[in-house]
């Protein structure tokens, strides 16, 4: 196995708060070794869409990315947010390189097939979506890739893609080259035994313990798909997955960061 790689996902809440974003990025920049950042969208896209009189289209309660909305998320995620993050990382001494999946052909998705609902320009990730050799070239050249959640289909169409899925797909694909960990940063201290108590973080969960915790009702509903995706990534070669608070990221390499999910 080669060297260590950390793939870190940061969500929209931190992106939307300038002070928290700077705090998080300073901690991210200080992490040792090879690393990748994947960022979500935040509320700016909705604000820009509203300002331009473009309504968020929903079908059966699910968001649809039509052509106008694709332009907006491309502008905001791959443009404004990505370049803000990159320039702040440069300030903190991290040689960041902002990417969409089209850049260096790093992530190729397929437009979601139309069945009951036409989701529009939404990209689904397949097992061979990540071009790990392209991403490796950037890592080996000393850059820190910073991915927005915009991908392409390889024949000229950009696609809006889920940032959690991108982070997971990157980690799985790169685990063939690096000793890879995946870190989901969010606004809680980790997986909590008591959802109202931030001090009740479960330090580690092994795959066989996950079913028990689910059955016992300890893991609340919103966390279940997150953890299922995490254990899926572990099953595909990722060494471990951490879930913890974005602003505790400085604790990651010294121990005590969030919940660590392990194969066994």
Closest contact distance (angstroms) between CB of 161 and a copy of itself is 13
Where in 35-54 is the site for a copy of itself (CB under 8 A)? Answer: 48, 51-53
Where in 88-147 is the site for a copy of itself (CB under 8 A)? Answer: 88, 90-91, 95-100, 102-105, 134, 137, 141-143
Per residue, the 3-state secondary structure of the chain, as one string, reads CCCEEEEEEECHHHHHCHHHHHHHHHHHHHCCCEEEEEECCCCHHHHHHHHCCCCCEEECCEEEECHHHHHHHHHHHHHHHHHHHHHHHHHCCCCEEEECCCHHHCEECEECCCCCCCCECEEECCCCCECHHHHHHHHHCCCEEEECCEEECCCCCEEECCHHHHHHHHHHHHCCCCEEEEEEEECCCCCECCCCCCCCECCEEEHHHHHHHHHCCCCCCCHHHHHHHHHHHHHCCCCEEEEEEHHHHHHCCCCCCCEEEECC
CB nearer to a copy of itself: give 11 or 101: 101
CB nearer to a copy of itself: give 137 or 193: 137
Closest contact distance (angstroms) between CB of 101 and a copy of itself is 9
Which residues carry a binding-site annotation for substrate? 41-42, 63, 160
CB nearer to a copy of itself: give 105 or 253: 105
Residues at the interface with a copy of itself (CB under 8 A): 48, 51-53, 71, 74-80, 82-84, 86-88, 90-91, 95-100, 102-105, 134, 137, 141-143, 150, 152, 154-158
């Amino acid at each position: 196995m080669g060297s260590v790689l950390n793939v870190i996902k940061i969500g929209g809440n931190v992106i939307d708060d300038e002070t928290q974003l700077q705090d998080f990025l300073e901690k991210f920049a200080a992490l040792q070794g090879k690393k990748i950042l994947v960022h979500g969208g935040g509320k700016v896209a909705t604000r820009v869409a509203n300002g331009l009189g473009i309504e968020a289209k929903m079908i059966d309660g699910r968001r649809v990315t039509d052509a106008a909305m694709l332009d907006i998320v491309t502008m905001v995620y791959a443009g404004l947010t990505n370049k803000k993050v990159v320039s702040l990382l440069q300030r903190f001494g991290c040689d960041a390189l902002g990417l969409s999946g089209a850049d260096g052909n790093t992530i190729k998705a397929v437009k979601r097939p139309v069945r009951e609902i036409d989701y529009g320009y939404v990209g689904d990730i397949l097992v061979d979506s990540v071009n790990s050799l392209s991403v490796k070239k950037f890592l080996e050249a000393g850059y820190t890739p910073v991915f927005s959640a915009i991908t392409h289909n390889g024949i000229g169409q950009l696609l809006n893609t889920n940032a959690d899925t991108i982070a997971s797909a990157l980690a799985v694909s790169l685990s063939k080259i690096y000793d890879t960990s995946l870190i989901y940063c969010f606004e809680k201290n980790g997986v909590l035994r008591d959802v109202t108590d931030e001090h009740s973080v479960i330090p580690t969960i092994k795959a066989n313990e996950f079913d028990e915790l689910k059955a016992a009702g300890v893991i609340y509903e919103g966390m279940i798909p997150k953890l299922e995706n995490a254990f899926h990534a572990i099953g595909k070669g990722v060494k471990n997955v951490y879930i913890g608070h974005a602003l505790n990221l400085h604790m990651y390499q010294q121990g005590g960061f969030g919940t660590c999910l392990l194969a066994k």
